Structure 1
Amino acid sequence: MVTDEERDYMYRVFAHDKQARINLGIRRRLTPLLGNDRKKIELMYSLLFSMPGTPVIYYGE
């Protein structure tokens, strides 16, 4: 769990638009969160697929 202060910080940084907030979570796609930077996106997926376990990708990502 996160503190109220940490949640406020995450909302300021990742959920400027109040419609992106759901209950206590944030509804955003990864590509805009990574600034549409192809190198960051490729690195993120490389990390996802190199970790143990089954990777899960939400449809549309």
Structure 2
Amino acid sequence: MTLQMRDRENVELGEMKKQVFLIRKITRDKVAATSDFLGVSESFVIKVMDLIEENPDLDDEEIAEMLVDF
């Protein structure tokens, strides 16, 4: 893996971590507004919410790593 690829992955992970942090703070009735605000699909927001609910012991970075690995 090149340094440039690793840097790109780190940036992507950082962005995902911020999104997970924000999504963790909202309720399911705000999915549409949250997806618009973050510029992501509603299905992404729901996926993050599902991962948070299924893995309550994981922190934002661990959830983000799960998303990047998909």
The one of the two structures with greater contact order (alpha-carbon pairs below 8 A, sep at least 6) is 2
For the criterion TM > 0.5, the same-fold answer is no
Give the TM-score taking structure 1 as reference length. Answer: 0.34
Higher helix share: 2
Larger radius of gyration: 1
Structure number having the greater strand percentage? 1
TM-score normalised by length of structure 2:
0.31
